[in-house]
Amino acid sequence: MRATLTVLGSGTSMGVPTIGCDCRVCMSKDAKDRRTRPSVMLEYGDAVVLIDSGPDFREQALREKIRHVDAVLYTHGHADHILGLDDLRPLSFRHEKALPLYALDSTATTIEHIFRYAFDAASTYATRPRVKMNRIAMDGAASLDLFGAEFIALPLLHGEEEVLGYRFGTAAYLTDFSDIPAASMEKLRGLDLLFLDALRRRPHPTHSNLENSLRIVGELKPKRAFFTHMSHDLMHEETNALLPENVRLSYDGLKIEFAIA
């Protein structure tokens, strides 16, 4: 089964341009240097699955004309990945039961705390998001069957915090990590398409940088790789010119086809 991955946002937590910054990337006229907060959409069969719903989700959904969403998978509980949850409301109201969300225990706890009015069983707020949290129990890699496609949740390290990346068919999406445990690396072989964190050039305590992500691509050898979660350190065209031909910076609105099942 073919699927389309759409990059809803390719930027780091602060977005690019960054508030108050007039560096040459933030001032760039190239639309590909404008990066909203990180998230991707997967479309296959009749299904639409999101990975994360960040603070720019509303603008991203309007831009991509999203009409329905069937599930949201979360990578972790940082603001740039979860704060658009309330903007799922108009899409969640179309669900007879509730829009299913999937997250690690720790991430689910953070989301339920921040959006207490949406999850509290005692809440009587009528227009709260109609969502249902499903906690992913981690015991090595967890597997989810969503609308005929298998999603494998892969533990990654984001500084000291355990977060998730996801593999689905011949593609994988790994945002926000500084290290990939060996067991997760093993599950990332034989990919056609790999999206991975490459925050900037210099090393960072909780994110992979350009050099480290190139090393990972060299080890996993996917057919194509795209970097994401990029800061204003990386100018689109200029950085692309330095990369191997099968590795590119992603950008908001990029669409790529791949086999999901």
Residues near Zn ion (CB under 5 A)? 13, 18, 21, 23, 26, 78, 80, 176, 232
CB of 44 to Zn ion, least distance (A): 25
SS3 content of the chain, % helix, strand, coil (to 5): 20, 30, 45
CB of 26 to Zn ion, least distance (A): 3
For Zn ion, the closer CB: 26 or 256: 26
CA dist., res. 247 & res. 225, Å (int): 5
For Zn ion, the closer CB: 46 or 205: 205
For Zn ion, the closer CB: 17 or 100: 17
CB of 177 to Zn ion, least distance (A): 9
For Zn ion, the closer CB: 53 or 92: 53
Q: Is 257 exposed, middle or buried (0-12, 13-18, 19+ CB in 10 A)?
A: middle
User: How many other β-carbons are positioned within 10 Å of the β-carbon of residue 11?
Assistant: 25
CB of 96 to Zn ion, least distance (A): 33
* Helix, strand or coil, per DSSP, at residue 174: strand
Helices assigned H by DSSP within 64-137:
79-82, 89-92, 105-114, 116-119
